[in-house]
């Protein structure tokens, strides 16, 4: 069973039909929308500030969602896929975003809607990513505009994760 803990008087709140893997951790001031999934070894730690997550967002294996005490909360939109071992820390992610495996998004960064952060990218504090962009590298730089094929990858990934979760409920 997933670890769900109250911290500093805050208990996580979940929308309908959320899936938490057996060893997922969700603690503190976390508000999660409908049809979200938090996978194996993923941590959503709202102990030092708030974390808000929209609908149909998936946080994949080993990802870490955190914030900075009294400084930077984390806001994640809807239809967002945060891939394996990514770190999302004290930043804002819009809707329809794919964060690649091992990517790091740091405090104060803002990722616009319909964007991709490439695998292994490091988005430095305070970076503003224009909607419809693909960013990659260390530090992350704008690579190109997102195309229709990548928009479909973002949508398909967000759509598939609730389906994958159903496999564990049977």
What are the tens digits of pLDDT across the range 136-156? 999 999 999 999 999 999 999
Q: What is the pLDDT of residue 8?
A: 97
Say if pTM beats, i.e. exceeds, 0.95. yes
Q: What is the mean pLDDT of residues 111-130?
A: 98
**Pairing mode of beta strands 64-66, 133-136:** unpaired
Q: Residue 169: is its pLDDT beyond 90?
A: no
Report the number of distinct structural domains present in the chain. 1
Backbone dihedral angles phi then psi of residue 76, each to the nearest 5 degrees: -125, 130
Specify the DSSP element, H or E, that contains 111: strand 110-111
Q: Which CATH number does the domain housing residue 89 bear?
A: 2.160.10.10
Q: Which domain holds residue 52?
A: 3-168
Q: Residue 43: is its pLDDT beyond 70?
A: yes
CB 72 within 8 A of CB 49: yes
């Amino acid at each position: 069973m997933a670890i769900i803990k109250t911290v500093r008087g805050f208990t996580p709140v979940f929308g309908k039909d959320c899936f938490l893997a057996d060893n997922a951790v969700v603690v503190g001031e976390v508000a999660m929308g409908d049809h979200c999934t938090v996978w194996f070894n993923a941590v959503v730690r709202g102990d030092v500030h708030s974390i808000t997550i929209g609908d149909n967002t998936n946080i994949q294996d080993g990802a870490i969602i955190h914030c900075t005490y009294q400084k930077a909360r984390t806001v994640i939109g809807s239809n967002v896929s945060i891939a394996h071992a990514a770190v999302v820390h004290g930043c804002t992610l819009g809707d329809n975003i794919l964060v690649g495996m091992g990517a790091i998004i740091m405090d104060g960064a803002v990722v616009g809607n319909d964007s991709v952060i490439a695998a292994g990218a490091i988005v430095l504090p305070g970076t503003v990513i224009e909607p419809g962009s693909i960013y990659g590298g260390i530090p992350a730089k704008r690579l190109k505009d997102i195309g229709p094929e990548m928009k479909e990858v973002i949508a398909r990934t967000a759509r598939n994760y609730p389906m994958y979760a159903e496999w564990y409920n049977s």
